[in-house]
Amino acid sequence: MEVTRTRVDDLRVRQLRAQQMLRGELAGKDLDEYVEERLLFTTIETAQNWARKNAIFPLGFGLACCAIEMITVIGSPRNDLARFGAEAIRFTPRQADLLILSGRVSIKMAPVIRRLYDQMLEPKWVIAMGACSSSAGMFNNYAVVQGADKFLPVDVYVPGCPPRPEALIYGIMKLQDKIMGSQDMGWRERYGAVGTEETVA
Amino acid sequence: MPDATGLELIAQRVREAVGEEAVTGTSFHREQATVQVAPERVHDVLAHLREADEPWEHLMSVHGCDYLPEEPRLAVHYQLLSMERCDRLNVKTRLGAEDPHVPTVVDLFPTADFQEREVYDMFGIVFDGHPDMRRILMPEDYSGFPQRRDFPMGGEPVLYTFNEGKYPRWYE
């Protein structure tokens, strides 16, 4: 009861302070205090990355058995990926910015995936979900690409067969950390892809 | 399945209807009755079996097989089913790995279309007269027939302790 009373009083004080501010009645020390309380300093890049990391749109795209697991992570209220701002699935690569490779990549599928990746707009990220897309898993044979990073840059590898939902969520949170930090970890240099950036003009 | 005697009777009827040289043998192994057929007469034999007095009207499966190191190496298996009599019969033909050709049975059993394409894709057996003899599973520009036994496994070498020495500087 006491707490509630205090918070209401505090809110009332703040409202009155804001009213005074708008009327131009605040001056001197009071005005300084008011401004300091409400300002936040950051760089434009950090603000931009903060917005990006909290609005990741995954591409609605599945490859194999991991796709079922991926759907339960992204689509189900139980795992509630909306907490991390990555629940809005886009079914066109033009609007998506996260490609989750969920399953083994056969050599017949690889050009299709590469094409989807090329159609996505910058900035774009790739998660290799599960053992198969990371390193071909148990499919060490003629039909499966030995790791999806053979033909596109992968940002986060999530191990498991399939990974638990928590693992994929952890991978997405790792990706968020990466987005807040260095955007691409220099993959363009590593893959010789400088100058291939595609952005909205 | 027909029993061993029934199989011989079927083989004899096929010989009478299609020709003595069409049936090269029979085998009855683990309750599986198989008629072995010369590759060039496969179509005739299956046409006869489909229209015989006791017909096998359904082709369940066409698949290839590689019996390396036996000669002739490759084989095509046809599995027939009679829904009415609840009876099954295998027809098998053996052919060498050099330029193997078998007449298609798509005109008798339309279901053989994709299955013959798969056998071609995996074993390189060409079905003469097939309406669309292309690869079906592997990419169009793939070279080689991956299910043949002498086809390399592909993939990448896996490092175990016993072959560690084979891959120098593997840790790089």
Contact B153/A136, CB-based, under 8 Å? Answer: no
Contact B156/A143, CB-based, under 8 Å? Answer: no
Is A170 near chain B, with CB under 8 Å? no
Determine which of A104, A105, A108 to mutate to test the interface with B (most B C-beta atoms within 10 Å): A108
What SS3 class is residue A199? coil
Angle, helix A44-53 to helix A165-180, in steps of 10 degrees: 170
Q: Of the candidates B137, B146, B155, which has its C-beta nearest A136's C-beta?
A: B155
Residue A138 has pLDDT above 90, yes or no: no
Give the closest residue to A142 by CA, choosing from B136, B151, B120.
B151
Q: In this structure, how many other beta carbons lie within 10 angstroms of the beta carbon of residue A178? A: 17
Residue B52 has pLDDT above 90, yes or no: no
Q: Which residues in chain A are closer than 8 Å to B136, comparing Cβ atoms? A: none
Contact B154/A141, CB-based, under 8 Å? Answer: yes
Work out the burial of residue A173: count CB atoms within 10 Å of its CB; fewer than 13 is exposed, 13-18 middle, 19 or more buried.
middle
Query: Could you tell me which chain A residue has the CA closest to the CA of B147?
Result: A142
Query: Could you tell me which chain B residue has the CA closest to the CA of A109?
Result: B139
Determine which of A142, A145, A150 to mutate to test the interface with B (most B C-beta atoms within 10 Å): A142
Q: How far apart are the first and last CA of chain A?
A: 56
For residue A183, what pLDDT is reported?
A: 58
For residue B152, what pLDDT is reported?
A: 82
Rounded to the nearest angstrom, the minimum Cα separation between B151 and chain A is 9
Q: Which residues in chain A are closer than 8 Å to B156, comparing Cβ atoms? A: 136, 140, 146
Residue A184 has pLDDT above 60, yes or no: no
Residue B172 has pLDDT above 90, yes or no: no
Instruction: For residue range B132-142, list pLDDT tens digits in order.
Output: 889 998 888 88
For residue B118, what pLDDT is reported?
A: 93
Residue B156 has pLDDT above 80, yes or no: no
Mean pLDDT of A1-27: 80
For residue A9, what pLDDT is reported?
A: 79
What are the angstrom distances between the C-alpha of B114 and each of A88, B43, B53, B61, B162?
Answer: 39, 17, 28, 10, 43
Dist. CA A140–CA A143, nearest whole Å: 8
Mean pLDDT of B70-81: 92
Contact A141/B139, CB-based, under 8 Å? Answer: no
Is B135 near chain A, with CB under 8 Å? no
Q: Tokens for A16?
A: 């009155």
Residue A193 has pLDDT above 60, yes or no: yes
Band of pLDDT at residue B151, cut at 50, 70 and 90: confident
Band of pLDDT at residue A201, cut at 50, 70 and 90: low
Q: Tokens for A49?
A: 């990355």
Identify whether the C-beta of residue A120 lies closer than 8 Å to the C-beta of residue A106: no
For residue B160, what pLDDT is reported?
A: 77
For residue A58, what pLDDT is reported?
A: 92
Contact A144/B151, CB-based, under 8 Å? Answer: no
Residue A1 has pLDDT above 80, yes or no: no
Q: Tokens for B78?
A: 């046809």
Q: Which residue type, as a one-letter code, is found at position A55?
A: A
What SS3 class is residue B65? strand
For residue B76, what pLDDT is reported?
A: 94
Is A144 near chain B, with CB under 8 Å? yes
Dist. CA A126–CA A93, nearest whole Å: 12
